[in-house]
Structure 1
């Protein structure tokens, strides 16, 4: 089977996602890589005669159609004769939750909640709304500019927390915005993770509350491995457990080649039998939040009460970033192996 990458684009109306996907399909298709596009399901539902008069009914149908389309396209991608296949999704199942007030009712109707839906996408790229001067309506885009901004806020409410969310800010031109989107996708497809890791003072979560952080509990266990770092992770959030298997081979202090996949609980339990006996399981609370268009992950550990980690994935090692004023940095530990989770797991803390 082909190696499949599932990359979703979302954003406020008129944010440029559909136009970006059309260009991405051409730019990423080559002799060894197939490209598939999962179009926005809402158009199909409207064509079938459904209206937005009752958003719960409408979005339920959109979500069901989206799931059906995604599942069919995923089978085609896996059966590609090429080595790789990329699926670009124009919106996601997760989007549907942003449009309804009764999210529990939607989850019950489609058999999955917000956190469950995240596992359908390896990465989600959210495009920021354009400036007012660049906004325009069409026959299918009925929202005015103020409504579009409200849609953006609701989307952020359901997207923040995804393990691999990217936020692309608006630029002076669509070409610049597209270049940022393409750079993010290049990073995903390369398999290389460039991470800025900061040791910070224990945060005041009351002050960070305005960023609406999403909390997940993580249990991370390292396995016996001859090359690199092999680990399994249980990520629990909103009553949903998701299991990951990750192999990392470090290239530089802050850059590593990473292969990560979502696995079943059965596979997770089986791999735990190969846990490295010299290392203990790392337990931490992870808080995900956006600041100035940057997606931060703040990790608090059960063995520290005076410090924590703040992490940010970057497109390049010289990528500039800004920090929330509430964060007090002790030092940059991106290249210090003493602060790698793998190393900490071997200490008696």
Structure 2
């Protein structure tokens, strides 16, 4: 019997060959607030990947095309605004599909950069109007947001943290003042909250470094070694949260997902293989993940998006020595930082009951990250690198004290956590 990891790789390879294209197609949405560096970023990203030998397609922003034709939001009634956004979304999808089809037949690795994407249309209308649009067209948020694109990059407006550089002079369709630009920036970012690979590139560095951070975020997802050309990627930081959680209205705008994890049988003890099902309202995204041994102090993860059929086929190889992990994942933006709060649910091992873990990716130093942590959550301590909070270990059916399967070699490099109260999971393992 072949392993689950090889089966997933074979399925991905078969899918590529079925489409007549054994090469990679990677779809990015480059979005952001006014004067955030989106236009420059698109040019820099294109040049970088073209120099690597990739074919790069740049999908134009449909809204700019229409607005430059004389349409003004201030002239539209409420109903006309809804109709305009619906037609705009149809236009976006059709233009993107044209480029997606070209990429599938391309003989090179292909990067598609979408100047904004489907969910950006939701930032300019009320939630009820958006729900009506997707319902009328038999769309859903999981397909439009999560399954359609591989990665979302939000370039934060200069109006947020770099006000002295904010300008409307170089953009014919831009007239926003600083305060409105901040509001639009937040609404644009909030429209993408929930995508599994969502990077927020803020103004904590100079503009040149901001561009490098943006390019690096793409290279890291694609496992492209950039050497010393770009900054080192941000690191995952994990925090233990004490319940009960505050009421929903105390959170900023958020998206909740049902998440199901299953670990898979694997012949190589140095590799972890798992399946993830993540969705909302009965619409799902399926991911196969391989965690490989560290290279230069970095754990390598290879993720493959699956169809439902492929997911069910591989699920037959789940490892019975692990519990299935059930979580509710709450995604939200706070202080220009993207957070994921994992709320562990039953059925589960007693060690997981009531467990709340907050995660974010950041290049910030401890003092700056501390300022950005959600003040409305009761954060106990940082647990980055603590194997007691590894999902692999949390899912083990055996007692940690008696098993030889407790894993510590995949733990990320420990950091000197800056919040300490000494609280650990109910069951601990001495390493």
What's the TM-score bracket when you normalise by the shorter of the two chains?
0.7 to 0.9
Moved more, 305-314 or 200-209: 200-209
After superposition, what is the alpha-carbon deviation per residue over 1:227-246, rounded to whole angstroms, capped at 9, x for unaligned? 41222111122442222222
Q: Name the SS of the counterpart of 1:15 in structure 2.
A: coil
Aligned partner of 2:60 in structure 1 is 39
SS in 2 for 1:256: strand
Matching of residue 106 in structure 1 with residue 133 in structure 2:
yes
Q: Where does the alignment leave 5 or more consecutive residues of structure 1 unmatched?
A: none
More strand by share: 1
Instruction: Give the alignment partner of residue 279 of structure 1, picking from 322, 326, 349.
Output: 322
Q: Which residue of 2 aligns with 1:80?
A: 106
- 1:176-210 Cα distance to aligned partner (Å, 9 max, x none): 33233223223222279942233333352338833
For residue 131 of structure 2, give the secondary structure of its aligned residue in structure 1: helix
1:156 paired to 2:189: yes
Q: Per-residue CA shift, 1:123-154, capped at 9, x if unaligned?
A: 11111121354221543224444333232232
Secondary structure of the equivalent of 1:211? coil
Where in structure 2 are the equivalents of 1:1-349 lying within 5 Å? 1=21, 2-46=23-67, 52=73, 53=76, 54-82=80-108, 84-101=109-126, 102-118=129-145, 119-131=147-159, 132-133=163-164, 134-136=166-168, 138-171=171-204, 173-190=206-223, 194-202=235-243, 204-206=245-247, 209-227=250-268, 228-251=271-294, 255-302=298-345, 303=348, 304-314=352-362, 321-322=369-370, 323-347=373-397
Inter-partner Cα distance in structure 2 for 1:25 and 1:75: 19
Is the 1:202–1:305 Cα contact (8 Å) retained in structure 2?
no
Q: Say whether the 8 Å CA contact 2:259–2:327 is kept in structure 1.
A: yes
CA distance in 2, matches of 1:307, 1:157: 26
Alpha carbons of structure 1 residues 331 and 142: separation in structure 2 relative to 1, 3 Å: closer
Q: 1:278 and 1:299 mapped to 2: Cα distance?
A: 22
Report the TM-score, using the length of structure 2 for normalisation. 0.72
Please tell me whether the aligned partners of residues 187 and 315 of structure 1 are also in contact (alpha carbons under 8 angstroms): no
Q: Deviations over 1:254-274 (max 9, x none)?
A: 842122233222221111111
- d(CA) in 2 for partners of 1:130 and 1:178? 13
Q: Could you tell which deviates more after superposition, 248-257 or 73-82?
A: 248-257
Does the aligned pair in 2 maintain the 1:290–1:296 contact within 8 Å? yes
Q: Counterpart of 2:66 in 1: which secondary structure?
A: helix
**Distance change >3 Å, CA 319–CA 7, structure 1 → 2:** farther
SS of 1:271's partner is helix
In 1, distance between residues paired with 2:69 and 2:168? 25
What is the number of residues matched between the two proteins?
348
**Higher mean C-alpha displacement, 235-244 vs 274-283:** 235-244
Note if contact 1:124-1:164 (Cα within 8 Å) is conserved in structure 2.
yes
Distance in 2 of aligned mates of 1:26 and 1:258: 26
SS at match of 1:180: helix
RMSD across aligned C-alpha pairs, in angstroms?
3.0
Larger radius of gyration: 2
Contact 2:246 2:376 in 1 (8 A): no
- Quick check: 150-159 or 323-332, which moved more? 323-332
What SS does the corresponding residue of 1:251 show, helix, strand or coil? strand
Higher deviation after alignment, 285-294 or 117-126? 285-294
Given that residues 142 and 279 in structure 2 are in contact (C-alpha distance below 8 angstroms), is that contact kept between their aligned partners in structure 1? no
Task: Evaluate the alpha carbon distance shift between residue 190 and residue 203 of structure 1 in structure 2; reply closer, same or farther with a 3 A threshold.
Answer: farther
Q: Distance in 1 between matches of 2:204 and 2:242?
A: 34
